[in-house]
Structure 1
Amino acid sequence: MKEQPIPTLFEWAGGMPVFEKLTDHFYEKVLSDPLLEPVFKHMSKEHQLHVAHFIAEVFGGPEMYSSEEGSHFKMIQKHLAKHLTEQHRQRWVALLLETADEINLPDDPEFRSAFVAYIEWGTRIAVLNSNIENLEMNPDEPMPKWGWGVPGGPYLG
């Protein structure tokens, strides 16, 4: 019997339509949230799509963000001097996880562990970078790649 390859987080989640749905619904919440709305009220109409493509690529999806919309360096630059706080970060994470539940993103422990780990890691970096004026980073820094981590794959039990 041939062993099945372990799917990427992108594949396990359901592909690009799921990530686009996640960010569409999430940013609706953001724009009605008293803490986050002032930070995001001037975002472009494409912002949530770019975020969907970025996260999807990090999770093993197609290289749409890095080949068509930006780079890891450019994503980090967008956060410079925004002066995000830990309260902003916590609210952003809470709303994203709430949205993930509402759209039925996979809720198995292995996927959610990897998903939450990336969201925690990425948002903490965003806060750090939002409180500096200049970015000392290689502009060719590759996109982060996130996998299953310690569990090593989905629970198929």
Structure 2
Amino acid sequence: MGERTIPTLHEWLGGTDRLEQLTTLFYRKVLQDDLLEPVFRHMSPEHARHVAHFIGEVFGGPKQYTETDGGSHARMVAHHLGKHLDEAKRRRWMSLLLESADEIGLPDDPEFQSALLGYLEWGSRIAVLNSTTVSNPIQPDAPMPIWGWGETGGPYTGD
């Protein structure tokens, strides 16, 4: 019996193109949402693509955010400083992102959904915490977060 190869979350969800599709749809919804639009109305035209690259890198994909987009973990956190996000905004953000993931057909297996939801809960709660300060708690040379399959150990394949 051969060794089982476990794909990264990035591979499992379909790669960078799928993430860019997700964030493009998501931010289109955000800009039509009364609660979230004021927070995002001045985002750059590249914002959706940069977020896709950030998530992709965190999920084990290519280092596009750090090597191509010129970003870092500290830079991503800096975008949230002073935004004064709250739980209502966080929940709406989560709802619209998960709705968008379903609409584009990201994998719906329990293992992937558990990893995705875990990351989004973690990241969105950190964003709320960081949005109440003007001082970045992340050092400029801090490594990017790395997210994997967690307790499931990989996708269910029936093996």
Instruction: Name the TM-score, length of structure 2 as normaliser.
Output: 0.96
Q: Distance in 2 between matches of 1:135 and 1:45?
A: 24
Q: Distance in 2 between matches of 1:17 and 1:135?
A: 30
Q: Any unmatched runs of 5+ in structure 2?
A: none
SS where residue 150 of structure 1 aligns? helix
Name the aligned partner's letter for residue 120 of structure 1: E
Trace 1:141-152 onto structure 2 (pairs within 5 A): 141-152=142-153
- CA RMSD after TM alignment: 0.8
Q: Is the CA contact 2:77–2:138 (under 8 Å) kept in the aligned structure 1?
A: no
Name the aligned partner's letter for residue 96 of structure 1: L
Partner of 1:67: 67
2:30 counterpart of 1:25? no
Cα displacement string for residues 25-67 of structure 1 (whole angstroms, at most 9, x for unaligned residues): 0011000000001110110100000000000100000000011
Q: Distance in 1 between matches of 2:126 and 2:13?
A: 24
Shift of the alpha carbon at 1:68? 2.2
Q: Any unmatched runs of 5+ in structure 1?
A: none
Partner of 1:43: 43
Trace 1:127-138 onto structure 2 (pairs within 5 A): 127-138=128-139
SS where residue 77 of structure 2 aligns? helix
Question: Identity rate of aligned residues, in percent?
Answer: 62
Trace 1:5-24 onto structure 2 (pairs within 5 A): 5-24=5-24
Number of residue pairs matched by the alignment: 157
Q: Distance in 1 between matches of 2:4 and 2:154?
A: 11
Instruction: Name the TM-score, length of structure 1 as normaliser.
Output: 0.98
Partner of 2:92: 91
